[in-house]
A = this chain, B = another copy of it.
Amino acid sequence: MDKIYDVAIIGAGPGGYVAAIRASQLGLSACVVEKDTPGGICLNWGCIPSKSLIHQASEFAALADMEKLGIRVDRSGFQYGRVQAKSRDAAKTLARGVAGLLKKNKVDVLSAVGSIAAVGKVALKGGALDGKIVHAKNIILATGSRPLELSGFVIDETMVLSSTGILAMVELPKELVILGAGAIGCEFAHVMNAFGVKVTLVEMAGHILPSEDFEVAQVVDAAFRKAGIDILVGTKAVSWKTRNGRSAVSIDKGGQKSELCCDKMLAAFGRVPNTQGIGLEMVGVRLNGRGYIETGDYGQTNIPGIFAIGDITTSPALAHVASREGEIAVEFIAGRTPRPSKVPPDLVPSAVYCEPQVAGFGLREDGDKVNNRNVKKSVFPYRGAGKSVATGKTEGLVKILADVDTGEILGAHVVGLNATELIHELLLAKSSEMVVEDIAAMIHAHPTLSEAVMEAARGINDSPIHL
């Protein structure tokens, strides 16, 4: 371990492994220290296996369509364990892929728990490398986050599951209470409900998906209720106790207390940064009041030579943000001037993969006020796009908030089939400083859902045709 790396990265999630590959592409020598499988939570116990469950849930739900065609479906032999196994296969395939990419890019993968020993030094713990020190000119911290545990809901992975626990689950509960209706809560509500679990979604805020536009969240709310999911908003989960082998969850809605019975709970309150035990105190890396690492334009912490990216920083805790921050940091280290530098918050797309899907960026109608801007809103419903009728997926809308004087897109929100793909056309218009007219004037293939994007853009300056 006498080698001095240009970059040592602690954590091989979507922030760390992308930073490592990019570093290598730029001619830097790089290693990544990872205690588990490369790919991090996202790939192994997050985005990827959950997308496999969601895809299978949609196929399972489509069985009802097929029964209407005279096909007989006997679900009695259904084994959820096989659904789960398939999701594990997807994660394993991709983890192997990441390991292959790291190898191809000559990144050293060090299997150990890494922590800062000093500036330029990473201490390794556990496994064959226990006690070793890695030397590196630059250290990037990419240790990610873990589920937030609230008092009263200690995660035991038996009664109170984390997102990891529910992804590991091989048998379905009869009744599930999901605590928190953010992206993770809503995705599992969709999956579990589709597979026949009785789901209750409990959310403190005034609407589900509280960090998404309210109008978009409303569409999901209506679809969820129609699909049989119970939704309690403005409701706080207080505590739980066992009763006859099941759980009784105490909830409080504006002072009105009641109880929900279920077999399991999913704690989806949010996530907390993994800033403990990584040696921040050894060199004095500063945290903000909420426990996140404040970083400069290129991911620099207050200590020269030490960078931080992803969920441990103050930017949105999203895989694609971590990846970009990783690239920005190593490009800076390599002497390049990355463009853009700091990830602009209004150019970060959110994406929720429940059905209907949700994606958005920038200004929300119920978000911060915009001064000195003549903001206009345009909403185009999916059912105005022929493709949605042809596929029977008419729930959804495209919403654009634009400066009507300049045509600048200030925010956009899509809910419905393939929303997480459709958002990118709108985001490109925003990120490249185009105007709504650029989208409105462009020919869109017929019949596609992207036509709804075009029609929404027309709604700012002109009239949509199909409304």
Chain A residues at the B interface, C-beta cutoff of 8 Å: 14, 18, 21-22, 25, 42-43, 47-49, 51-52, 55-56, 59-60, 62-63, 65-66, 68-80, 82-83, 86-87, 90, 93-94, 97, 101, 318-321, 323-324, 327, 339-340, 343, 347-351, 359, 384, 386-387, 389-392, 418, 420-425, 427-429, 431-432, 434, 438-439, 441-450, 453, 462-463, 465-466
Contact = CB atoms under 8 A, between A and B. Distances in A.
B391 A446 contact: no
Contacts of A418: 418, 421
A10 B389 CA distance: 26
Contacts of A62: 59, 62
A83 B60 contact: no
B60 A66 contact: yes
Given A62-B62, A318-B446, A428-B442, 4 more contacts: A51-B387, A55-B391, A71-B74, A420-B448
Contacts of A439: 428
A428 B390 CA distance: 25
A28 to B, nearest CB: 13
B73 A72 contact: yes
B79 A70 contact: yes
Most buried by B among A22, A101, A351, A443: A443
Most buried by B among A87, A448, A466: A448
A389 B422 contact: no
A77 B83 contact: no
The 7 closest A-B pairs by CB, nearest first: A51-B390, A351-B445, A70-B77, A72-B74, A320-B446, A70-B79, A319-B446
Most buried by B among A65, A70, A422, A427: A70
